[in-house]
């Protein structure tokens, strides 16, 4: 399925190089195809384009997506650092202790001590305590 989606998403991204949703979708396809470096590059580009500082509503979504890619593409330390930062700000429903505990997207890093430490922290760390 990823092989079929690849040319379509690459064409869309070529037509719209600033389309952060195309970047995100394409990064997941690259990840599925084992192209981890490409997946990380595009996920970072999307997260940098719509950062938390630029967009407090959408920025956390892109940061969370990048953390998900990092967790699966061999950069678990970066994923945990990013999640720690997201837990410290109002990030909507994207990142919470409860969600981290049950969402299978975090399974690749679930048993890491640093991830487990996040789960044992306060339910809310940031301004919404």
Can you list the domains of the chain with their CATH numbers? 2-119 (1.25.40.10)
**Cβ neighbour number for residue 109 with a 10 Å cutoff:** 23
**Whole-structure pTM over 0.85, yes or no?**
yes
Q: Report which of 67, 89, 88, 86 is spatially closest to residue 78, judged by C-alpha positions.
A: 67
Residue 33 has pLDDT above 50, yes or no: yes
Q: What is the pLDDT of residue 128?
A: 40
Residue 122 has pLDDT above 70, yes or no: no
- At residue 127 the predicted structure's pLDDT band, cuts being 50, 70 and 90, is very low
- At 39-53, the pLDDT tens digits run 999 999 999 999 999
Query: What's the mean per-residue pLDDT of the chain?
Result: 91
Q: Point out the least confidently predicted range of 5-14, 84-93, 96-105, 113-122.
A: 84-93
Which residues, 6 or more positions from 105, have their beta carbon under 8 angstroms from its beta carbon?
68, 71
């Amino acid at each position: 399925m990823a092989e079929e989606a690849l040319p379509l998403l690459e064409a869309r991204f070529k037509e719209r190089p600033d389309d952060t949703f195309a970047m995100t979708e394409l990064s997941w396809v690259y990840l599925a195809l084992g192209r981890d470096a490409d997946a990380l590059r595009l996920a970072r580009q999307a997260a940098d384009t719509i950062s938390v500082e630029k967009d407090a509503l959408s920025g956390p979504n892109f940061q969370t997506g990048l953390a998900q890619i990092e967790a699966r593409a061999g950069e678990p330390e970066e994923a945990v650092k990013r999640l720690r930062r997201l837990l410290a700000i109002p990030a909507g429903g994207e990142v919470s202790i409860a969600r981290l505990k049950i969402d299978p997207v975090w399974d690749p890093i679930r048993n890491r001590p640093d991830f487990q430490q996040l789960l044992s922290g306060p339910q809310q760390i940031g301004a919404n305590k």
